Amino acid sequence: MKSLLFSSSLLSAAGGGLCWRKHNLKIHSLPGNRVLRCDSSNVTRNNLVTSLDGQESSFFLLCSRHKSRFQANATTGQPEAFGPKSRPNSFRDSLDAFYRFSRPHTVIGTVLSILSVSFLAVEKVSDISPLLFTGILEAVVAALMMNIYIVGLNQLSDVEIDKVNKPYLPLASGEYSVKTGIAIVTSFSIMSFWLGWIVGSWPLFWALSVSFMLGTAYSINLPLLRWKRFALVAAMCILAVRAIIVQIAFYLHIQTHVFGRPVMFTRPLIFATAFMSFFSVVIALFKDIPDIEGDKIFGIRSFSVTLGQERVFWTCVSLLQMAYAVAILVGATSPFIWSKVISVVGHVILATTLWTRAKTVDLSSKTEITSCYMFIWKLFYAEYLLLPFLK
């Protein structure tokens, strides 16, 4: 077998991949090609340095968990869509591809945020009833279907960019055709609106409609749209959905539609909206830090591109620390001892954990930046677990 030389390590792509090391790769022979099988838990794209005795060739990268396959040029090491053969050929493969297509970290965030905000409307123990859980289920299912529409449309609009930034996504890898992607986002948007309509909750239907409009304007490449090209507008879109619509609309869904109570903006709701505004801005800024390479190539002028990764990174950390400081002060003024203790101690722990983690991040490593981005999402989840305790 001809020699195959690798760089000492292969960095993972944005979106949360593990590093490929030499011991993770196995070489297999196929007629006219070489195949590398990756036994790590995630598929990644990276700067693979190869040589096949000076001959140009191609090799294939396969991941044992995701079953994602990329054809890469042996000279450049850049991944290319593998073509029709890379599309899922079993139920497990199909489920795995859909899992990645749905962007699970956003799915978890959507579910936790709706659950948390819904419990802000609970005023007495008797409110915790089958009626409440039915209302939550209606909201969660409709919102998840709209979430899949939004992240799916973004992938349809960013296929070429994702081949650089996130080649493990099904459209970028070739596992899904564009027609398949269109069919998924179309069907899920229709089902989301259908459920919102038959439920008969105007706050819910309003939330779905505004999310649909902003998600479409953010991604779709039409005149005056594709707002993700403009850093400030892109951040405002994410803030509007994650901070304002989720908090207010889903709270009102429970408050007015489920419980039949008048509209009332409580102290916890106002705090949740303000705090998540900070957090949504941080997510909007941070998500572009690992994607700077592809964004530069395709003219996406994110803050990371214009200001630099390091400045944006520490801006995000500072914003979250400010938000945690305010949360500690708000928690300390609660009239309930249990609320004070949980809010203050919880936010002190989160702030300390963030600062400790931030100081250890190597900003020259795409792997570490990506890992820190996913850590930010975990802090996002943790905040929604704390919010119901603020009274």
Token representation of residue 179: 């027609």
Contact 323, 278 (CB under 8 A): yes
Q: Which residues contact 270 (CB under 8 A, 6 or more apart)?
A: none
CA gap 376, 382 in Å, rounded: 10
Q: Give mean pLDDT, residues 102-114.
A: 93
Per-residue model confidence (pLDDT) at position 246 = 87
The per-residue pLDDT for 29 is 39
pLDDT confidence of residue 83: 47
For residue 30, list its beta bridge partners: 33
What's at 85, amino acid-wise?
A: K
pLDDT tops 70 at residue 150? yes
**Strand pairing report for 33-38 and 58-63:** parallel
- Give 34-51 pLDDT, tens digit per residue: 334 343 334 433 333 333
The pLDDT score that the predictor gives to residue 88 is 53
Q: Mean of the pLDDT values across residues 340-359? A: 95
Contact 268, 252 (CB under 8 A): no
In sequence order, the β-bridge partners of residue 35 are 28, 60
pTM of the model: 0.72
Residue 52 dihedral angles phi and psi, to the nearest 5°: -115, 75
Calpha distance 66→173 (Å, rounded)? 11
**Once rounded to an integer, what is the mean pLDDT over residues 206-235?**
89
